[in-house]
Each structure stands twice: as C-alpha cells, then as structure tokens.
Amino acid sequence: MELSFAAYQERQLLEISPAGVAARAAKLRPAEQFRYQDGAWVPNPYVGHAVVTMVGSTPANAPLVSALSSLQKSLLERLASPRTFCPLPAASFHQTIANTLSADKHQRLVVDRGLGAEYPAIVTNTFSDIPALAAREALTMRMVGLSLFGTALGLLGIFDREEGFHRVLHFRDHFYGDGRVAALGIQRTRPFIGHITLAYVERELDDAARAQLVDLVISINRELALQNLHFHLPAAELRSYRHLAEFTPFPSLPQFRL
C-alpha cells in the first residue's frame, strides 16, 4: 500500500504542478465539516483519534506556523468567494502519521464496545513495542507547494533524505501490524502522504471559481518555490478530536520518537 520513495516524491511534485492542480480542482467538493453561521464558521461533529505530529509541538516549527498562517490569510483574501473555504486554526495544523478510527467506526468499534476510557492507552501502549530508531538527524519534511485534495486544500511535503521517509514507514508498518491495533478494528487504508491541511471546501464551485482557484494556487506555488519551508517532526502522539479544527492531547500517554 505504501509508495516507494521515488514514487512518493514524484507524486507530491506532480500534485503541485499546474496540470496536477487543474486536475484536482475539477474534482473538488464540499467537505460538510463546517457551516457558516451568524458570521462565523461552526464545526460539525466528527469524533475520533489519530496519531499525529502537531506543527506547534516544537519551537523549531515557529517559522513554519507563521508562514502557514500568512499563506492561509493571503489565499482567502485573494479568492473571489472566500466563504468557499473554511480556514483551520493554526493550533490544528498537523501531519497525520497514522489514522485510527473516526465517525461511525469510532462509535461502533470504540463507544458501543465500551472502550472509550481505555482506548487511548491501548493504542499508545503499542508504541513501546515498536523498535526504537537510532539517534539521527532531526526528521523534517520540506513543504513544497499547495495542493487540492477532494474536499480540502493543503501544503504538501517531500523528504530531502530517503532515510526520513522510511522512518515514517517504520512506525506505520509496526503500528498497523500490531495485533492489539488490529483487534480494535484499526486498518491501514491509504499510503502515507505528507501534508498539512489549511482549509476545507464548504461550498460548490462553479467553473469560473475553479479556474480562478487554479490560477491562484499556481501563482502561490511559484512563490513557495522560492522559499525553504521545513516541518520538523520530532515525535508521533495520539490526539482526540470532536471536530476537525481541534486536536486534544493526552499528556500522560507515551509518544514515539520519530
């Protein structure tokens, strides 16, 4: 299921190319995760957990947080219909390292089975059985451009060192291969894709709006190509969410050093 390193790098760069952006824009649809009400965005319930690295988890990412916030603001200001996209708060910016359970699956496999209280510990107790990685350079992704994906818009990342890519896959392979994780109903459903979601689509776009969005994203990607934005990923941790704008930590539970 996972991409090879070469295929991953090629895929990410294709997605942010003019042709890739245009192809994805044609398939955009509303996420139905947020609604605009009384002059503000209101999240719809979407309950679950995910193993993530939060952008704000280390001071080393402070320049990236600032750049992402500026980029998000610039994008929305330059859109003809800014309410088409719901911007996410900077505190929610993250990279998903491994998906677990959400929405209906979370209700059926966690809540209905009476596992709500113990579920986070069951998931994170598996971390100690994943072979530790030898101390190496800090794991980073280079964030290379905006991409459109289904119901959202975000910044894609590539790895300057192949070893970094395989460190992420090391965690995913052992995590999804753990019998306790499998018993919970957690499955690997998609390959790892490095990205930080910045906004969700929450309104249908007509042809003119799609064309304007494509031109804007291509223009922004030309600007991003001149920057050198790095995302430091020191550790993977479990977080819970009631909706997709808020990720709550478990300070007493273990993390995995990437």
- Cβ atoms within 10 A of the Cβ of 71, count? 19
How confident is the prediction for the chain on average, in pLDDT? 95
Structure tokens at 123: 């998931």
The C-alpha atoms of residue 192 and residue 153 are separated, in whole angstroms, by 17
The two counts, helices (H) then strands (E), for the chain are: 8, 12
The tens-digit pLDDT sequence of the chain (258 residues) is 899 999 999 999 999 999 999 999 999 999 999 999 988 999 999 999 999 999 999 999 999 999 999 999 999 888 867 689 999 999 999 999 999 999 999 999 999 999 999 999 999 999 999 998 876 788 999 999 999 999 999 999 999 999 999 999 999 999 999 999 999 999 999 999 999 999 999 999 999 999 999 999 999 999 999 999 999 999 999 999 999 999 999 999 999 999
> Which residue reads 């939060």 in tokens?
54
Q: Give the tens place of pLDDT for each residue, 59-73.
A: 999 999 999 999 999
Q: Give the tens place of pLDDT for each residue, 177-215.
A: 999 999 999 999 999 999 999 999 999 999 999 999 999
For CA atoms 152, 211, 225, 6, give the dihedral sign: positive
In the chain, which residue ranges form alpha helices assigned H by DSSP?
5-15, 18-25, 62-78, 103-106, 119-125, 162-176, 179-183, 207-224
Question: What is residue 79's predicted lDDT score, i.e. its pLDDT?
Answer: 85
Structure tokens at 60: 């080393």
**pTM for the complete prediction?**
0.96
Question: What is residue 82's predicted lDDT score, i.e. its pLDDT?
Answer: 67
The C-alpha atoms of residue 139 and residue 123 are separated, in whole angstroms, by 23
